Amino acid sequence: MNTASAPATDESSLSARETVKALCAYVRPHRWAVALGLLCALAGAAGGLLQPLATKTLVDRLATGDTITGILIALTALVLLGTAIEAFGAYALERTAESARLSTEPTARRTGTVPRQRAAVTGPASVRFEDVSFRYRPGLPYIHQQVSFEVPGTGMTAFVGPSGAGKSTVFALIERFYEATGGRVLVDGKDVQDWSLSELRSAIGYAEQDAPVLAGTLRENLVFAAPGATDDDIRDVLARTKLDTLVERLPHGLDTPVGHRGSKLSGGERQRIAIARALLRRPRLLLLDEATSQLDAVNELTLRDVIAEVARETTVLVVAHRLSTVTGADRIVVMEAGRVRSVGTHEELTAQDRLYAQLAAPQFLTSSR
Ligand SMILES: Nc1ncnc2c1ncn2[C@@H]1O[C@H](COP(=O)(O)OP(=O)(O)OP(=O)(O)O)[C@@H](O)[C@H]1O
Ligand SMILES: [Mg+2]
């Protein structure tokens, strides 16, 4: 997928520069009072410091009016300083109230395990698109036009369609990399715009089309998005993605380097590592953009089993490029030129949708059957 250079930013991460700018904006109307107050305070302080050094007695000073002038200056300074402090205080209060309104980042549990969902929200997530239209930028053509579909909080849903139909873009909108131009995208019945970005993202695991496996060890590749994962967590996920036998074969197990971009691994293993990495974060919704490259028969069928197994506990959405994936799907959404053309099972669609029947022919969807 075009892992979109995500333009959306978390509202909770105001930069220091923005903070200083906001502070300046608040103080600007009071700037003369603040400056004068500071000047008078300095003058008063200097007068106070120098007074003991002066030769005149206090009585002399009172008689000549010097001390009264000094007292007046000091009072003025106090009043103006008060104004400045009030301005800063009001600003501080405003910022405190503002930060109290901001959503908080999900925090890792201190038990040493990976971050989990909040207790109130558990189980597989549901997804709904309601008349979604979308274009990447004003002036560009619409990529989605009145896209509607519903995915209940269970099972596996496959998205199928010609290249450029807008399948990966569906995922980009669910993850809120981009905002729908029209209509609504809902996760768990709630508009993604109303989710805190960090909460939304922590509910979603995403294994992208060209799953990046980096130089480094297998362990490093697995845990970089879930640094709190324990050995038990890793063992569990390796078993679910059928990578445990691979780890047994590797000379240093999990601590074996996998080569530049995972060159010592097969395409199927890389894809499963991407799934394992996503599962370590215990998502309630797994988005899997299948790699278009050919897998050998063993890897393809293993991948199918892994997806079916994960779909038992997590809602799984797959952009499918393999026949073995679509035949195992609970429902298939067929997309064409930014529209949903039909929804059904493999058998229903093969009988009813000519485009799907063509797409599902082995020469289009890759198949090792
Ligand atoms: N960041 C972007 N900016 C502008 N246009 C984009 C961007 N990403 C994708 N597109 C365009 O949006 C359309 C749909 O892209 P998308 O990646 O959703 O297609 P797809 O159905 O996943 O295709 P494929 O099967 O080839 O992966 C394409 O025409 C693509 O060129
Ligand atoms: Mg794609």
The answer to the question of residue 311 being in a domain is: yes
The answer to the question of residue 211 being in a domain is: yes
| pLDDT, tens digit, 9 for 90 and up, residues 21-67 | 666 666 666 677 667 767 766 776 676 666 656 556 655 655 566 66
Q: Is residue 250 domain-shared with residue 163, that is, in the same domain?
A: yes
pLDDT at 30: 65
103 within ligand 1 shell (Cβ under 6 A): no
Ligand located closest to 335 CA: 1
State the average pLDDT over residues 84-89.
68
Q: Is residue 66 domain-shared with residue 164, that is, in the same domain?
A: no
pLDDT at 184: 97
pLDDT at 6: 38
Please provide the average confidence, as pLDDT, over all residues in the chain: 79
> Containing domain of residue 178, as a range?
127-359
The answer to the question of residue 43 being in a domain is: yes
Q: Is residue 94 domain-shared with residue 134, that is, in the same domain?
A: no
pLDDT at 287: 95
| pLDDT, tens digit, 9 for 90 and up, residues 232-266 | 999 999 998 989 998 999 999 999 988 777 777 88
Q: 319 alpha carbon to ligand 1 midpoint, in Å?
A: 13
Surrounding ion ligand 2 within 5 Å at CB are 168
For atom 13 of ligand 1, which residue has the closest CA? 164
The answer to the question of residue 116 being in a domain is: no
State the average pLDDT over residues 265-294.
86
pLDDT at 47: 65
Q: Is residue 168 domain-shared with residue 238, that is, in the same domain?
A: yes
pLDDT at 304: 86
Q: Where residue 174 sits, what CATH number does that domain have?
A: 3.40.50.300
* Count of the separate structural domains present in the chain: 2
State the average pLDDT over residues 173-180.
96
The answer to the question of residue 46 being in a domain is: yes
Q: 269 alpha carbon to ligand 1 midpoint, in Å?
A: 26
Sequence-ordered list of residues with C-beta below 8 angstroms from that of 126, at least 6 positions apart, any chain = 150, 151, 152, 153, 186, 187, 188, 189, 315
pLDDT at 119: 41
163 within ligand 1 shell (Cβ under 6 A): yes
Verdict on whether the full-model pTM lies above 0.85: no
Q: 316 alpha carbon to ligand 2 midpoint, in Å?
A: 16
Q: Is residue 148 domain-shared with residue 296, that is, in the same domain?
A: yes
The answer to the question of residue 367 being in a domain is: no
The answer to the question of residue 227 being in a domain is: yes
Last residue of a domain, one of 84, 101, 118: 101
Q: Is the pLDDT of residue 3 over 50?
A: no
State the average pLDDT over residues 200-217.
85
